């Protein structure tokens, strides 16, 4: 046991746990994979923080590139970020995606040991947030962020404030209402028990006391806990349509009025127990419906991809400016790896724009001076100067979010609201018919009691509960399989889809594994030369190729030079070796292939490596099973180089379109919807964002749920894509469960109405009938969901 432990330690990095390269970095008999990991260990050991490594094995994260943080010195940007500030201390909350284990909590809560100017730091593990209190006189915000980066926890600071978005989402009001409703229900039940068991003559003196107490408890139940139903009912009547809240509000009102009437005139015990129980259960259902994932955001837009600040040039001087303040005519200074935040014209420099955010096309595009560069492009190569021609909010890409014709809510009416109309109508017909009958019989007292009783008994309470209970049970089944749906309404929407649109890059393919192929001839020795060069680079392409080359021995490299966005060069074993993109002087040698990593050894063109994203496994079976009940369609932003391959995956009748711009994708979805299709869209990047938002059910696919995904209705883990037909199957089954429970509820209601129309409904019957029907429904939905989930192979 002990020995095995040793060997695992030896072959992986002590800090991050990744496989060690051939040449390791060493410190105090520990091996590290890179200088970054070693650096973090050094800082931690100097500050007596090595406990970090005792709670978990290899808890670190691999070191990423240096970030530019000049903007954190700007007072206006600091003011935007900070939560609270007084004389000498400030409080700030960061979102840190790297938080993943208990060691992270331990280290980040001991930051004060590294710098005493940090007073305290608190972690919220689920939300991956850290709240830091620090002395801003002794440590600047920039220095604080640098400290975090030094220990390997880079905060994510973007234009859309992730932290503040989360705080907005919390609805404490509902929790308080549930607590109050639970308190009221408990007490009312207690004071109603004597009534249920029958009062002896001696106990009659308490009857009016209990009655008044129950009435007192009913007031907050109806007007505080139930106020949302009244508000919702009034607004829906104003808009001339009836939702489920309308009959519910009516019932709450009738229950309250009848209780007040009976207590004040001492004619009976009233319906306070039914009223408080109903309100409590309704609020529980509402809570289930609102409950969502704390750690996943479904409403991201371009702002979460954009940095908070950009460098501008003013008379040749660099100045960081908040993106919201960028005006037309400003000069921007964009360095390697930085994003162009607004549509701009290239003024100076050699621009190689990686437009994969916008178009899905992975090869960088060369832009010449004077050409327009659209927002969302990422510069790869030297720093460039741009002149802004449109403000950030009106750029080509961001315009996708300002589109007016996004799906409106009336379209998304759910089963409950659609049935509420007929339900309310039915209840009113019965109630008025009963009243008319008793008035005809000259019994006005019975008319009034029968009218109220019918409305009370015909409570659509079960209807309001079965939907959230069923759908939230389905949500948790999905959740276990890596499918995160935004809310319960979205599950209903999923069940209605009849057309599925796929994006190609990142959706049908995955960046996790890359297939490397080589065009040309390469000998074993040359392989060794090239691998020695690649070993020095941390660029993802280099790492993929190095893995594919599978070379064991390396040469020493002299004069190693890595030009960002271009390639690598150096002297290996006495020969000059170049690997990288095609530069103008190389174009003469090879004219047929443009993409990939080109290899030149000793001024001799050898060939090029093509690194392609690999197709996700199991696509053929997936499409075959989806084809049975869905129309399939592919919209790719890429060129048609993969057409043949796609045709083997998809059935014959599938339409496959290439070179689709983000706006064209959006148009395509709109056209499908215009022909009465209910469209599900699967995509991954910003280029699909418009289409995802417009579609009836947008699924963002990702290999790591902590990565940013565009706004959508659900997030699907890449390896769960094969389960898509099962997910759809279960959502459809869920709708059937809801309909079945509606049928059961109607049975219970018929029994109640039988007594109600005769005007003989005793409160006890109402108070017993409601909980029994509720419990039946909850049990039924829970068991039915589990059985159907098993049938769909999801449990």
Partner 1 sequence: MNILYFLVGCSVLMALIFLGAFIWAAKTGQNDDVHTPGVRILFDDEVTEEKSEEDHFSS
- Considering only CA atoms, which of 150, 153, 144 is closest in space to residue 47? 150
Per-residue binder mask for partner 1 (CB under 8 A), 56-95, x = binder: ----------------------------------------
Helix (H) or strand (E) holding 659: none
Could you tell me where the DSSP H helices lie in 370-523? 415-440, 444-457, 461-480, 488-496
Q: CB under 8 Å, gap of 24 or more: what pairs does 425-429 form?
A: 426/458, 427/247, 427/454, 427/455, 427/458
C-beta of 221 vs 606, nearer to partner 1: 221
* From 115-123, 245-253, 275-283, 431-439, span contacting partner 1 (CB under 8 A): 115-123
- The only residue of 187, 661, 776, 782 in contact with partner 1, by rule CB under 8 A: 187
- The only residue of 30, 45, 68, 112 in contact with partner 1, by rule CB under 8 A: 112
**CB of residue 170 vs partner 1: minimum separation in angstroms?**
7
C-beta of 196 vs 401, nearer to partner 1: 196
Q: Which two tokens stand for residue 663?
A: 């706006």
C-beta of 206 vs 401, nearer to partner 1: 206
C-beta of 141 vs 180, nearer to partner 1: 180
**CB of residue 169 vs partner 1: minimum separation in angstroms?**
12
Residues 155-184 touching partner 1, rule: CB under 8 A, are: 170, 172, 175-176, 179-180, 183
C-beta of 121 vs 532, nearer to partner 1: 121
Q: Does 204 bind partner 1 (CB under 8 A)?
A: no
Q: Does 102 bind partner 1 (CB under 8 A)?
A: yes
Per-residue binder mask for partner 1 (CB under 8 A), 652-691, x = binder: ----------------------------------------
Q: Which residues contact 430 (CB under 8 A, 6 or more apart)?
A: 454, 458, 753, 757
Residues 594-613 touching partner 1, rule: CB under 8 A, are: none
**CB of residue 51 vs partner 1: minimum separation in angstroms?**
7
**CB of residue 205 vs partner 1: minimum separation in angstroms?**
8
**CB of residue 200 vs partner 1: minimum separation in angstroms?**
11
Q: Could you tell me if 14 and 53 are in contact, meaning their C-beta atoms sit under 8 angstroms apart? A: yes
- The only residue of 16, 77, 81, 105 in contact with partner 1, by rule CB under 8 A: 105
- The only residue of 109, 137, 299, 371 in contact with partner 1, by rule CB under 8 A: 109
**CB of residue 50 vs partner 1: minimum separation in angstroms?**
10
C-beta of 209 vs 231, nearer to partner 1: 209
Size, binding site for partner 1 by CB under 8 A: 33
Q: Does 775 bind partner 1 (CB under 8 A)?
A: no
**CB of residue 764 vs partner 1: minimum separation in angstroms?**
21
Q: Which residues contact 563 (CB under 8 A, 6 or more apart)?
A: 381, 569, 580
* From 107-115, 362-370, 411-419, 474-482, span contacting partner 1 (CB under 8 A): 107-115
Q: Does 202 bind partner 1 (CB under 8 A)?
A: yes
- The only residue of 43, 106, 140, 393 in contact with partner 1, by rule CB under 8 A: 106
Q: Could you tell me if 610 and 596 are in contact, meaning their C-beta atoms sit under 8 angstroms apart? A: yes
Residues 395-454 touching partner 1, rule: CB under 8 A, are: none
**Angle, alpha carbons 496-747-290 (nearest 5°):** 45
- Considering only CA atoms, which of 329, 326, 331 is closest in space to residue 393? 326
b/e string for 550-568 if b means 16 or more Cβ within 10 A? ebeebbebeebebebbbbb
41, 116, 128, 293, 455 from 121: Cα distances, Å: 20, 12, 13, 24, 55
C-beta of 51 vs 671, nearer to partner 1: 51
* From 102-110, 428-436, 440-448, 575-583, span contacting partner 1 (CB under 8 A): 102-110
C-beta of 119 vs 293, nearer to partner 1: 119
Residues 234-273 touching partner 1, rule: CB under 8 A, are: none
- Considering only CA atoms, which of 25, 29, 23 is closest in space to residue 9? 29
Q: Which two tokens stand for residue 718?
A: 């890449």
Q: Which two tokens stand for residue 16?
A: 């991050």
What count of Cα atoms within 13 Å lies in the side-chain half-sphere of residue 348?
A: 10
**CB of residue 224 vs partner 1: minimum separation in angstroms?**
12
Q: Spell out where 564-615 has E strands.
A: 567-572, 575-580, 597-601, 604-615
- The only residue of 8, 26, 51, 235 in contact with partner 1, by rule CB under 8 A: 51
C-beta of 208 vs 523, nearer to partner 1: 208
Q: Could you tell me if 272 and 188 are in contact, meaning their C-beta atoms sit under 8 angstroms apart? A: yes
Q: Does 614 bind partner 1 (CB under 8 A)?
A: no
Q: Could you tell me if 306 and 291 are in contact, meaning their C-beta atoms sit under 8 angstroms apart? A: no
**CB of residue 156 vs partner 1: minimum separation in angstroms?**
19
Alpha-carbon span 134 to 645, nearest angstrom: 56
- The only residue of 45, 57, 69, 119 in contact with partner 1, by rule CB under 8 A: 119
How far apart, in Å, do the first and last CA atoms of the chain sit? 35
Q: Does 523 bind partner 1 (CB under 8 A)?
A: no
**CB of residue 70 vs partner 1: minimum separation in angstroms?**
31
Q: CB under 8 Å, gap of 24 or more: what pairs does 437-444 form?
A: 437/757, 438/759, 443/759
**CB of residue 27 vs partner 1: minimum separation in angstroms?**
20
**CB of residue 179 vs partner 1: minimum separation in angstroms?**
5
Q: Which residues contact 501 (CB under 8 A, 6 or more apart)?
A: 632, 633, 634, 635, 668, 669, 672, 679, 680, 681, 682, 691, 695
Alpha-carbon span 274 to 255, nearest angstrom: 8
Alpha-carbon span 8 to 5, nearest angstrom: 6
Q: Could you tell me if 53 and 28 are in contact, meaning their C-beta atoms sit under 8 angstroms apart? A: no
Alpha-carbon span 193 to 216, nearest angstrom: 17
Q: Does 48 bind partner 1 (CB under 8 A)?
A: yes
Per-residue binder mask for partner 1 (CB under 8 A), 121-140, x = binder: -xxxxxx-------------
C-beta of 47 vs 140, nearer to partner 1: 47
**CB of residue 102 vs partner 1: minimum separation in angstroms?**
5
User: How far, in whole angstroms, is CA 769 from its chain's centroid?
Assistant: 40
- Considering only CA atoms, which of 112, 5, 93 is closest in space to residue 49? 112
* From 204-212, 505-513, 624-632, 725-733, span contacting partner 1 (CB under 8 A): 204-212
Residues pairing with 600 in the sheet = 578, 605
Residues 556-575 touching partner 1, rule: CB under 8 A, are: none
| DSSP state string for 27-74 | ETTEEESSHHHHHHHHHHHHTT-TTHHHHSSS------PPPP-GGGG-
Q: Does 293 bind partner 1 (CB under 8 A)?
A: no
Alpha-carbon span 525 to 142, nearest angstrom: 48
Q: Does 113 bind partner 1 (CB under 8 A)?
A: yes
**CB of residue 548 vs partner 1: minimum separation in angstroms?**
40
**Angle, alpha carbons 87-88-91 (nearest 5°):** 100
**CB of residue 62 vs partner 1: minimum separation in angstroms?**
24
SS3 450: helix
* From 16-24, 101-109, 628-636, 715-723, span contacting partner 1 (CB under 8 A): 101-109
Q: Which residues bind partner 1 (CB under 8 A)?
A: 48, 51, 55, 102, 105-106, 109, 112-113, 119-120, 122-127, 170, 172, 175-176, 179-180, 183, 186-187, 190-191, 202, 205-206, 209, 213
């Amino acid at each position: 046991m002990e020995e095995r432990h040793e060997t695992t330690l030896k072959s992986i990095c002590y800090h991050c746990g990744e496989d060690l390269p051939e040449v390791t970095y060493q410190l105090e008999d520990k091996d590290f994979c890179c200088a970054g990991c070693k650096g973090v260990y050094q800082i931690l050991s100097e500050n007596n923080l090595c406990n970090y490594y005792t709670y978990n094995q290899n808890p670190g994260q691999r070191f990423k590139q240096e970030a530019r943080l000049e903007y954190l010195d700007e007072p206006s940007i600091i003011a935007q970020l900070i939560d609270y500030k007084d004389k000498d201390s400030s409080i700030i909350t960061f979102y840190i995606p790297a938080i993943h284990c208990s060691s992270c909590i331990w280290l980040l809560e001991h930051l004060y040991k590294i710098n005493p100017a940090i007073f305290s730091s608190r972690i919220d593990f689920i939300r991956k947030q850290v709240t830091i209190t620090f002395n801003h006189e002794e440590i600047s915000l920039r220095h604080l962020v640098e400290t975090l980066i030094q220990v390997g926890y880079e905060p994510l600071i973007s234009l859309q404030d992730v932290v503040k978005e989360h705080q907005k989402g919390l609805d404490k009001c509902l929790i308080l209402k549930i607590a109050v409703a639970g308190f009221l229900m408990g007490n009312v039940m207690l004071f109603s028990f004597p009534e249920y068991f029958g009062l002896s003559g001696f106990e009659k003196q308490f009857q009016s006391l209990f009655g008044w107490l129950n009435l007192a408890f009913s007031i907050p139940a109806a007007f505080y806990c139930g106020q949302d139903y009244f508000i919702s009912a009034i607004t829906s009547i104003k808009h001339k349509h009836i939702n489920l809240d309308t009959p519910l509000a009516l019932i709450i009102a009738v229950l309250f009025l009848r209780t007040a009437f009976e207590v004040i005139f001492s004619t009976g015990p009233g319906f306070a127990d039914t009223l408080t129980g109903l309100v409590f259960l309704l609020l529980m259902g509402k809570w289930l419906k609102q409950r969502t994932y704390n750690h996943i955001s479904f409403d991201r837009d371009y702002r979460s991809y954009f940095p908070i600040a950009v460098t501008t040039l003013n008379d040749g001087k660099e100045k960081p400016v908040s993106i919201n303040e960028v005006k037309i005519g400003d000069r921007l200074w964009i360095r390697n790896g930085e994003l162009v935040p607004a549509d701009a014209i290239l003024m100076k420099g050699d621009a190689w724009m990686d437009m994969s955010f916008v178009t899905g096309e992975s090869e960088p595009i060369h832009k010449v001076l004077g050409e327009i560069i659209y927002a969302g492009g990422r510069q790869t190569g030297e720093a460039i100067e741009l002149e802004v021609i449109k403000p950030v909010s009106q750029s080509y890409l961001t315009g996708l979010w300002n589109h007016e014709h996004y799906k409106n809510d009336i379209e998304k009416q759910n089963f409950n609201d659609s049935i509420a109309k007929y339900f309310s109508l039915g209840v009113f017909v019965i109630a008025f018919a009963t009243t008319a009958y008793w008035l005809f019989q000259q019994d006005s007292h019975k008319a009034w009691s029968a009218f109220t009783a019918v409305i009370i008994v015909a409570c659509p309470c079960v209807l309001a509960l079965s939907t959230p209970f069923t759908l939230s049970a389905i949500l948790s089944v999905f959740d276990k399989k890596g499918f995160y749906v935004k809310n319960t309404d979205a599950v209903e929407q999923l069940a209605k889809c009849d057309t599925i649109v796929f994006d190609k890059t990142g959706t049908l393919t995955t960046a996790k594994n890359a297939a490397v192929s080589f065009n040309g001839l390469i000998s074993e020795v040359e392989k060794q030369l090239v691998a020695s060069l690649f070993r020095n680079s941390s660029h993802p392409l280099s790492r993929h190729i190095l893995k594919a080359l599978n070379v064991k021995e390396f040469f020493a490299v002299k004069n190693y030079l890595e030009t960002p966005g271009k390639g690598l060069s150096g002297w290996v074993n006495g020969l000059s070796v170049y690997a990288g993109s095609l530069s103008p002087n190389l174009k003469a040698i090879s004219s047929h292939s443009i993409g990939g990593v080109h290899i030149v050894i000793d001024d001799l063109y050898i060939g090029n490596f093509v690194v392609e994203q690999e197709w996700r496994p199991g696509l053929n079976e997936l499409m075959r099973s989806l084809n049975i009940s869905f129309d399939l369609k592919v919209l790719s932003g890429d060129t048609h180089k993969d057409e043949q391959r796609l045709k083997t995956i998809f059935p014959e009748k599938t339409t496959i379109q290439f070179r689709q711009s983000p706006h064209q994708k959006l148009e395509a979805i709109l056209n499908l919807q215009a022909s009465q299709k209910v469209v599900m869209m699967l995509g991954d990047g910003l280029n699909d964002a418009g289409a995802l938002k417009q579609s009836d059910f947008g699924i963002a696919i990702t290999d790591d749920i902590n990565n940013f995904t565009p706004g959508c209705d659900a997030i699907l883990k890449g390896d769960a894509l094969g389960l898509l037909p099962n997910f759809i199957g279960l959502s459809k089954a869920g709708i059937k469960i809801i309909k079945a429970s509606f049928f059961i509820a109607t049975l219970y209601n018929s029994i109640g109405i039988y007594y109600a129309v005769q005007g003989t409904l005793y409160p006890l019957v109402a108070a017993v009938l409601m909980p029994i029907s509720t419990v039946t429904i909850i049990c039924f939905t829970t068991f039915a969901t589990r059985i159907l989930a098993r049938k769909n192979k999801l449990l």
